Amino acid sequence: MNPKMLPVLNVPVKYHIEPVPPMDRPRRFLEAFAAVLRHSNYGFLLDHFSRMGAKCAMCAAECPVYQVTASDADVPCSRSELVLKTYRRHFTAEGRMMARVLGTPPLSDADIDKMTEAFYRCTACRRCNLQCPMGLDHGLITHLGRYLLSEIGIAPKALVVSVREQLQGKSGNTSAIPVPALLNTLEFLEEDLKEKFGKDIKFPVDQEGAEYVFFPAVSDYLLEPDVLMGMAAVFHATGDSWTIGTGNFDGINYGLFYNDRHFEAIVKREVAEWKRLKAKKMLIGECGHASRTAKAFIPVFGGDYKPEVVNVLEYTDRAIQSGKVKLRKDVIKERVTYHDPCNYARSGWIVDQPRRIIRSFIQDFVEMEPHGKENYCCGGGGGTVSIDEMREFRTMVGGKRKAEQLRATGAHYVIAPCANCKKQVKEVIEDHKLDMELIGLHDLILRAIEL
Partner 1 sequence: MDTLIQFGRGPLFRFAVVVALLGLARYVVLSAWGLRRARQRAGDKRLDFGAVASRTFTVLNPFRYLAGNRAFYTALSVLFHFGVILVPIFFAGHIRLWRRGIGLGWPALPASLSDWLTLLSIATGVLLLIARAWYPASRGMSRPQDWLLPPLIVLAFLSGYLVAHPGSNPFSLNLVTLVHVGVCDLLLILTPFTKIAHCVMLPYSQYVNEMCWRLVPGAGQEVLKTLGKEGQPV
Amino acid at 194: K
Q: Judged by CB, which is closer to partner 1: 164, or 432?
A: 164
Q: Judged by CB, which is closer to partner 1: 42, or 344?
A: 42
Distances (CA, A) of 7 to 114, 135, 195, 272, 428: 24, 29, 50, 49, 17
Residue (of 74, 82, 67) closest to 2 by Cα position: 67
Q: Are 193 and 201 in contact (CB under 8 A)?
A: yes
Q: ∠ CA(207), CA(212), CA(216), 5° rounding?
A: 100
Q: Are 64 and 402 in contact (CB under 8 A)?
A: yes
Residues forming a β-bridge with 326: 450
Query: Of residues 15, 25, 78, 214, which one binds partner 1 by CB under 8 A?
Result: 78
Query: Of residues 9, 20, 300, 408, which one binds partner 1 by CB under 8 A?
Result: 300
- 9 belongs to the binding site for partner 1 (CB under 8 A): no
In angstroms, rounded to a whole number, what is the distance separating the alpha carbons of residues 273 and 252?
14
Using the rule CB under 8 A, give the single segment among 106-114, 256-264, 383-391, 412-420 that binds partner 1.
256-264
- 176 belongs to the binding site for partner 1 (CB under 8 A): no
Annotate 143-177 with b (16+ C-beta within 10 A) or e (fewer).
bbbbbbbbbbebbbebbbbbbebbeeeebbbbbbb
- 55 belongs to the binding site for partner 1 (CB under 8 A): yes
- 296 belongs to the binding site for partner 1 (CB under 8 A): yes
**The dihedral of CA 81, 87, 93, 97: what is its sign?**
positive
- 431 belongs to the binding site for partner 1 (CB under 8 A): no
In angstroms, rounded to a whole number, what is the distance separating the alpha carbons of residues 336 and 319?
22
Query: Of residues 65, 82, 163, 244, which one binds partner 1 by CB under 8 A?
Result: 163
- 105 belongs to the binding site for partner 1 (CB under 8 A): no
Query: Of residues 52, 110, 366, 408, which one binds partner 1 by CB under 8 A?
Result: 52
In the complex, minimum distance from the CB of residue 87 to partner 1, in angstroms, rounded to a whole number: 14
Q: Judged by CB, which is closer to partner 1: 39, or 433?
A: 39
Q: Judged by CB, which is closer to partner 1: 20, or 110?
A: 20
Q: What is the DSSP string of 154-210?
A: -SBHHHHHHHHHHHHSSS-STT---HHHHHHHHHHHHHHHHHHHSS-----BS-TT-
Using the rule CB under 8 A, give the single segment among 194-202, 227-235, 292-300, 435-443 that binds partner 1.
292-300
- 331 belongs to the binding site for partner 1 (CB under 8 A): no
Q: Are 147 and 262 in contact (CB under 8 A)?
A: no
Output phi, psi for 208, to 5 deg: -80, 145
Query: Of residues 3, 204, 225, 372, which one binds partner 1 by CB under 8 A?
Result: 3
Query: Of residues 6, 98, 140, 434, which one binds partner 1 by CB under 8 A?
Result: 140
372 burial via Cβ count (<10 Å: 0-12, 13-18, 19+): middle
Q: Are 381 and 328 in contact (CB under 8 A)?
A: no
- 167 belongs to the binding site for partner 1 (CB under 8 A): yes
Query: Of residues 29, 203, 257, 263, which one binds partner 1 by CB under 8 A?
Result: 263
- 248 belongs to the binding site for partner 1 (CB under 8 A): no
- 99 belongs to the binding site for partner 1 (CB under 8 A): no
- 179 belongs to the binding site for partner 1 (CB under 8 A): no
Query: Of residues 21, 168, 200, 239, which one binds partner 1 by CB under 8 A?
Result: 168
Binding-site ranges for partner 1 (CB under 8 A): 1-3, 31-32, 35-36, 38-42, 44-45, 47-48, 51-58, 60-62, 66, 70, 72, 75, 77-78, 81, 130-137, 140, 151, 160, 163-164, 167-168, 259-265, 296-297, 299-301, 303
